A and B are shown apart, each in its own frame.
Chain A
Amino acid sequence: MVHISDGVLAPEVWITGYIITAIILFFILRKIKAEDIPKISIVTSAFFIASLIHVPIGPTSAHLILNGLMGILLGLYAYPAVFIGLLLQALLFQHGGITTLGINTIDMGIPALIAYYIFRIKKNPITAGFSCGLAVFLAVLLTSIVLILSGKEFYEVAVLLFLAHVPIAVVEAFVSAFVVAILLRVKREVIA
């Protein structure tokens, strides 16, 4: 549950989130080329729908995030893609919220960028799986930090979120490894 809803966070926290996201978006969006748009759109639509695939775990239910895979496929453009995907999820599925959009983009987008940089070291399915699993945990870590900044009890939240996302991280690692394995063989140029 890395989507934080409206009204959970203190205003200082979500306003800061918007400012950080706006700065990152500003620098990344200037680089986008017209021929990148279709790829970004398709990966964003996958991300948008992935959040509907729920895995019920303990007291909560976690869903696929796919942020790591977005990083691998889109590189830096994963950040605007996460932003748009989250905006649509907030508007249509009420996952997350409008005020928390900036924060949620940070929580999922930064790990996507980290996954991209890890994958760049060695482009093979194993690094892909590893970096995508890691991206999920980093997203959880960032979410926990944000919730703590707004005065939630750290231990409870962080432990529960981590436990809930172990299966998600495993599933995503496998999904991403397979996707990357296939793409490396059939359409290498798709990978950022």
Chain B
Amino acid sequence: MRKLIIALTIILILAIPVNAHRMYVNYKVSEIEVYAWYGGGAKVVDGDVKVYRSDGTLYIEGKTDENGTFRFEPEIGESYRVVVESMGHKAECYVNLSSAQVVVKEEPVYLKVISGLGYLIGLAGIASLYIARRKR
């Protein structure tokens, strides 16, 4: 056991200089591409895009292209609120560059459809129950 500890210590000491040759990789975000779509997948073309800084001031504005995308150069370390508006529709997302990751998840449409139908059956049940009670 004692030999093992000594051996490990030696290995660790030997290993330390290796750090001096460590390679680094890092990233810099030079452009943000936002993408706007309607539920179901249709692109939002020519939607008004407004990008706000974290303090609420307007950073940049523009319109989405034919692919529903809009690009802007961000300042690193800032976080942005992107608001897209088109024909009475409005949606927003947050771009946080301290973590530089935007996660947009959308459940598959068929799940939503099934749950909606489920709600309807439930509502119909509640309504029937209510009406049946009212009759009495």
Q: Is there an interface contact between A60 and B135, defined as CB atoms closer than 8 Å?
A: no
Residue B102 is within 8 A (CB to CB) of chain A in the complex? no
Q: Is there an interface contact between B39 and A95, defined as CB atoms closer than 8 Å?
A: yes
A105 vs chain B, min Cβ distance (A): 15
A138 vs chain B, min Cβ distance (A): 16
B interface footprint on A25-52 (CB within 8 Å = 1, 0 otherwise): 0000000111001101100110011001
Q: Is there an interface contact between B109 and A147, defined as CB atoms closer than 8 Å?
A: no
Chain B positions 85-136 with a Cβ under 8 Å from a chain A Cβ: 85-91, 109, 112-113, 115-117, 119-121, 123-124, 127-128, 131-132, 135
- CB-based nearest A residue for B119: A88
| Residues of chain A lying within 8 A (CB to CB) of residue B56 | none
| Chain B interfacial residues counted at CB < 8 A | 32
Which of A6, A84, A89, A160 has a CB less than 8 Å from the CB of B87?
A: A160
B27 vs chain A, min Cβ distance (A): 31
Residue A56 is within 8 A (CB to CB) of chain B in the complex? yes
| Chain A interfacial residues counted at CB < 8 A | 41
> Which of A44, A59, A164 counts the most chain B CB atoms within 10 A?
A59
6 contacting pairs across A/B (C-beta < 8 A): A6-B90, A37-B124, A54-B38, A61-B42, A147-B88, A157-B88
- CB-based nearest B residue for A52: B40
Cβ-closest 7 pairs across A and B:
A61-B42, A41-B124, A59-B46, A5-B90, A92-B112, A34-B131, A93-B39
Q: Is there an interface contact between B112 and A54, defined as CB atoms closer than 8 Å?
A: no
Residue A1 is within 8 A (CB to CB) of chain B in the complex? yes
Distance, CA A152 to CA B88, complexed state (A): 9
Known contacts A8-B90, A60-B45, A63-B40; 11 additional CB pairs below 8 A are A1-B89, A5-B90, A6-B90, A38-B124, A41-B123, A48-B117, A49-B116, A59-B46, A59-B86, A88-B116, A160-B87
